[in-house]
């Protein structure tokens, strides 16, 4: 890292994180249900690294940070691996392993703590939930391409909700980021999220950090600072005249 000055090349650090950090994080316990994407300690540490790479404060919105970095939540990789494991166990040559799988399937209706019950519970919110549940219960393989696309669609639900909000009338960080800054998603849900161009440029570290802070609303403009200022005002204090404008990113530019 030091020899090649990789700390000053955020796109390289983010690529290396995809290659090594995510694979190392696969040893973590899974939090696979919708709404628990950031519940584990590993996810917290992972996001801490991404926010440090961008140079933004730790309270910056997790979903926006992941999209800015072109990453998915660790839950995406855990869930996908769990389904791959289930599919591979169905095709195993081990008679003992097949019996274990069948025993866990038989235990599922009576215990919510068994592996199969947790897997079935995690399918909640997926478009093909009934198909996946039926496949597990009957001992058939889950179609991986369809499942992966479905899982990404579930996780991007936060952005579909954000799209319904106007950042000019809703003080919502995800809506602001999605409408004004975020790189659009590909129509093909299996395609990775594209990292914004500024992270590939040879910029001074403080310049890159300030761009990240502006894009992710991790700055000190009044629209953000109003939450902790005594007067709570979001009106620009740099403009003269009778008209009052909210001091947000667009107004500042």
Provide the whole-model pTM: 0.85
pLDDT tens column, 233-253: 888 888 876 678 888 888 888
Distance CA 34, CA 153 (A): 12
The DSSP 8-state label assigned to residue 141 in this structure reads -
What's the whole-number mean pLDDT along residues 125-139? 94
pLDDT tens column, 179-230: 999 999 988 877 888 899 999 888 888 999 999 999 999 998 888 887 777 6
Phi-psi region of 233 (alpha: psi -120 to 50; beta: other; left: phi over 0): beta
Closest by alpha carbon to 115, among 126, 106, 124, 128?
A: 106
Determine the straight-line distance between the first and last CA of the chain, rounded to whole angstroms. Answer: 35
pLDDT tens column, 134-153: 999 998 999 999 999 999 99
- The pair of structure tokens assigned to 206 is 């403080």
SS3 content of the chain, % helix, strand, coil (to 5): 55, 0, 45
Distance CA 185, CA 144 (A): 21
Other beta carbons within 10 Å of 242? 4
Taking 70 as the threshold, does the pLDDT of residue 25 lie above it? no
- The pair of structure tokens assigned to 170 is 């809703």
- Domain ranges for the chain: 1-219, 220-253
C-beta of residue 94 within 8 angstroms of C-beta of residue 106: no
What's the whole-number mean pLDDT along residues 42-57? 92
What's the whole-number mean pLDDT along residues 166-189? 90
């Amino acid at each position: 890292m030091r020899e090649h000055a990789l700390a000053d090349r955020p796109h390289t650090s983010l690529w290396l994180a995809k290659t090594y950090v995510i694979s190392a994080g696969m040893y973590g316990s899974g939090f696979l249900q919708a709404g628990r994407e950031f519940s584990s300690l590993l996810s917290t540490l992972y996001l801490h690294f991404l926010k440090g790479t961008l140079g933004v404060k730790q309270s910056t919105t997790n979903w926006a940070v992941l999209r800015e970095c072109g990453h998915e939540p660790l839950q995406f990789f855990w869930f996908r691996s769990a389904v791959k494991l289930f599919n591979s166990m169905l095709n195993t040559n081990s008679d003992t392993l097949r019996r274990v799988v069948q025993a866990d399937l038989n235990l599922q209706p009576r215990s919510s703590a068994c592996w199969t019950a947790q897997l079935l519970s995690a399918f909640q919110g997926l478009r093909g939930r009934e198909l996946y549940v039926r496949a597990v219960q009957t001992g058939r393989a889950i179609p991986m391409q369809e499942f992966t696309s479905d899982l990404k669609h579930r996780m991007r639900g936060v952005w579909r909700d954000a799209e319904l909000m106007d950042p000019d009338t809703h003080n919502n960080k995800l809506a602001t980021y999605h409408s004004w800054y975020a790189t659009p998603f590909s129509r093909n849900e299996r395609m990775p999220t594209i990292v914004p161009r500024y992270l590939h440029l040879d910029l001074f570290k403080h310049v890159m950090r300030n761009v990240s802070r502006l894009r992710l609303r991790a700055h000190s403009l009044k629209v953000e600072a109003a939450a902790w200022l005594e007067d709570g005002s979001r009106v620009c204090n740099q403009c003269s005249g009778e008209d009052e404008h909210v001091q947000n990113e667009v107004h500042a530019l």
